[in-house]
A and B are shown apart, each in its own frame.
Chain A
Amino acid sequence: MNLLTQYWPWWLGALALSFVAVGYFYSLGIPCGVSGVFGRVAGWREELEARSTEMSMARNAAQVQEQMMAEALAALQELPEEERKQVEAEMRAAQAQEAASAPAATTVVRPHPAAHLAFLASIAVGGLLAALSSGQWGLLTDMGATYSSFFGSGPSAWLILFVGGMCVGVGTQMAGGCTLGHGITGNSSLQIGSFTATAAFFATAVVASFIFKALL
């Protein structure tokens, strides 16, 4: 079986998708989802503003901590030199420990929206590489035989794509997730909202597909 030209068996696809979801969360510390990324790219300006607020908060937090330390040390002026140094060392150690144990819940700064855009672009690059490596890349002006048989070709088919895309855009933002964000990440965290959303979108897609098949 050639894995570059044929569709992957279910277990390989499951391994790959799971690797992406787990690896993304593990290495980046943020849940993997695509609709959220779309939302953040759409909210470019708000994201930039929130980011700069977070950055200055992170800076301030460090400054405030330094200041508190200096004040505390000033209050220890009467102590003999050696004792003061020991107390200072203890305080620094406690500070470092605190910083290590709570990985900067307060100082985490959200990524630049350009990173989200790069993520979306890289998904397309993945599709390009898959098509090139299978030797099937080419400019196609249809969506396959099934799609053409349902919605024809030309402007009516394009309109359906646009309308369907709008449903996806509104729906994923409204539900707060997509196949990945709810379907994989949310469900694997055993979240009732994700179970509900996943049941809703799978059931609707199944019913709609049976209707298309029967009527179109």
Chain B
Amino acid sequence: MNDKTAQHLVLKVAFGVLLGFSLSRIGFSSYDELHRMFVFADWRMFFTFAGALMLTTLMFQVVFRRRYTVSRPIHKGTVAGGVLFGLGWALAGGCPSIPLVQLGEGRVLALFTIAGIVTGVFAFRFAQRNYLHWDTGSCST
């Protein structure tokens, strides 16, 4: 392992811990809070998301002047995938990092959600490789 690999790993882990901690303290990992957001009983987490989006947009568009942009065109899977993900989110409370946070918090049932996500990821990769061959533009590195 060279210096750059080690630095990369340390940064990744640091951001991962911060992300998990924040998601937990915001309440995204609580199904109760999440459901209250989705039925508009509580706007706090909507504002959290909207605020994070506005701040990040400001940083990327103004401060860094588009130096860090990604390309996300619409493709065959955009709407269908979004709908499936939304349904899964409402059912299991998991945008993919959430069950990891829940597991850390001691909610052992999150293992079922994680198993489901891993199965789903493998299933889509299998379908993609053998039948679909869509260009979905992978999410990140």
Q: Contact residues of A with B, CB < 8 Å?
A: 3-4, 7-11, 13-28, 30-40, 42-43, 110-112, 115, 118-131, 134, 136-147, 157-194, 196-206, 208-210, 212-213
Contacts and interface: CB of A to CB of B under 8 A. Distances in A.
B120 A205 contact: no
A192 B119 CA distance: 29
A40 B85 contact: no
Contact of A200 (B16, B20, B86, B128): B86
B97 A123 contact: yes
Nearest to B74: A193
Contacts of A28: 8, 11-12, 15
A186 to B, nearest CB: 4
Contacts of A128: 20, 104-106
A193 B75 CA distance: 7
A43 B125 contact: yes
A169 B124 contact: yes
A112 B101 CA distance: 23
Interface string B11-39: 11111111111111111011111011011
Contact of B140 (A130, A163, A181, A212): A181
Interface in B60-76: 60-61, 64, 68-75
Among A25, A40, A191, which residue has the most Cβ atoms of chain B within 10 A?
Answer: A25
B72 A10 contact: no
B24 A130 contact: yes
Contacts of A196: 74, 78-79, 82
A146 B121 contact: no
A42 B124 CA distance: 11
20 contacts: A11-B47, A14-B48, A28-B8, A32-B15, A115-B5, A123-B97, A125-B20, A127-B104, A128-B106, A131-B106, A142-B107, A161-B112, A162-B119, A165-B88, A165-B118, A167-B85, A171-B83, A176-B75, A188-B61, A208-B91
B32 A144 contact: yes
A174 B86 CA distance: 12
Contacts of A43: 125
Contact of B81 (A11, A20, A174, A199): A174
B66 to A, nearest CB: 8
A191 to B, nearest CB: 4
Interface string B123-141: 1110010000010111111
B105 A130 contact: yes
Contacts of A127: 20-21, 23-24, 29, 100-105
B30 to A, nearest CB: 6
A129 B30 CA distance: 16
B52 A161 contact: no
List of 7 A-B pairs having minimum Cβ-Cβ separation, nearest first: A169-B120, A126-B20, A165-B116, A164-B92, A204-B86, A200-B82, A14-B51
A165 B120 contact: yes
A115 B12 contact: yes
